[in-house]
């Protein structure tokens, strides 16, 4: 009896669609990032604070919001005067390349777009496996979740190019060890670029924004790993 590797076939098709989307983004001059975290880590708040600090440069930003239900995060982004497109996944726990490809027409209608932020469904497992056609994956970890998360969810931290450790203002109320979290993350992926942020106090947001501006204005400061996923 032969086994059918269904997951492998699904991921292969996903990667083929993602590769085409990545080419389309590059032709349009768009740098795209995929933000992944567990629910409540602060992805939407980071986007909001990023838009506020980038000022005029924020005119070149658009956001694709992924949620199982509601467009509440989309509404938050639109209040920042940034165009946002909602993808509601229903029972699916992640975005996939076909969903992002279906939004390409909306993306192309945004004139002068330089940065596309894809906020994935809150989940640390499945999104790590699905290439969306982005140039860079950003993992977000809040201090309320525990400094052992990189060890417990290695696939995400291995796939990511950047790690944002968020909600650092809550550190005194937790047992979270910032240096241990960094060490654990770098054990999984020595190439991770790490930022520590608090959207409440503003800590680290300027550094994150400067890095992001460098990617979209001066060209990529780091080479995303996602386009090499087809070799998995």
Strands 162-166 and 136-142, sheet pairing: parallel
- On average, the pLDDT of the chain sits at 91
* pLDDT in the model for residue 215: 83
What is d(CA 225, CA 100) in angstroms, rounded to the nearest whole number?
18
| Confidence category of residue 5, pLDDT binned at 50, 70, 90 | low
Tell me the two tokens of residue 62.
């658009």
In sequence order, the 6+-apart residues with CB closer than 8 A to the CB of 143 are 165, 166, 167, 168, 170, 171, 174, 176, 178, 181
In sequence order, the 6+-apart residues with CB closer than 8 A to the CB of 110 are 62, 83
- Pick left, alpha or beta for residue 70 (phi over 0 → left; psi -120 to 50 → alpha; otherwise beta): left
State the number of CA atoms in the 13 A half-sphere of 197 facing the CB.
27
* pLDDT in the model for residue 230: 39
What tens digit of pLDDT does each residue of 130-173 get? 999 999 999 999 999 999 999 999 999 999 999 999 999 999 99
What is the Cα 44 distance to its own chain's centre? 11
What is d(CA 44, CA 50) in angstroms, rounded to the nearest whole number?
10
Strand partners, 86: 65
15-54 burial code (b ≥16 CB/10 A, e <16): bebbbebbebbeeeebbbbbbbbbeebbbbbbbbbbbebb
> What's the Cα-to-Cα distance from 232 to each of 15, 35, 227, rounded to whole Å?
10, 21, 11
What is d(CA 94, CA 105) in angstroms, rounded to the nearest whole number?
21
Q: What's the pTM?
A: 0.90
Helix (H) or strand (E) holding 222: none
Superfamily for 6-225? P-loop containing nucleotide triphosphate hydrolases (3.40.50.300)
| Confidence category of residue 221, pLDDT binned at 50, 70, 90 | very low
* pLDDT in the model for residue 223: 45
Strand partners, 163: 139, 194
Q: Tell me the domain boundaries of the chain.
A: 6-225
């Amino acid at each position: 009896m032969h086994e059918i590797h269904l997951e492998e076939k699904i991921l292969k098709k996903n990667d083929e669609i993602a590769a085409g989307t990545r080419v389309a983004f590059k032709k349009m001059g768009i740098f795209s990032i995929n933000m992944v975290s567990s629910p409540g880590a602060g992805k939407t708040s980071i986007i909001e604070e990023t838009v506020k600090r980038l000022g005029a440069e924020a005119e070149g930003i658009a956001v694709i919001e992924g949620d199982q239900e509601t467009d509440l995060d989309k509404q938050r982004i639109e209040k920042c005067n940034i165009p946002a497109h909602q993808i509601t996944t229903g029972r699916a726990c992640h975005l996939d390349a076909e969903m992002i490809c279906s939004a390409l027409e909306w993306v192309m209608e945004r004139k002068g777009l330089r940065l596309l932020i894809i906020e994935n469904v809150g989940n640390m497992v499945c999104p790590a496996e699905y290439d969306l056609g982005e140039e860079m994956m950003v993992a977000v970890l809040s201090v309320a979740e525990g400094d052992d998360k990189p060890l417990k969810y290695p696939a995400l931290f291995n796939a990511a190019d950047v790690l944002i450790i968020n909600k650092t203002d809550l550190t005194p109320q937790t047992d979270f060890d910032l240096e241990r979290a960094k060490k654990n993350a770098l054990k999984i992926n020595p190439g991770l670029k790490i930022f520590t942020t608090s959207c409440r106090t503003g800590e680290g947001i300027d550094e994150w924004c400067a890095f992001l501006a460098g990617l979209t204005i001066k060209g990529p400061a780091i080479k995303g790993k996602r386009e090499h996923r087809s070799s998995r």
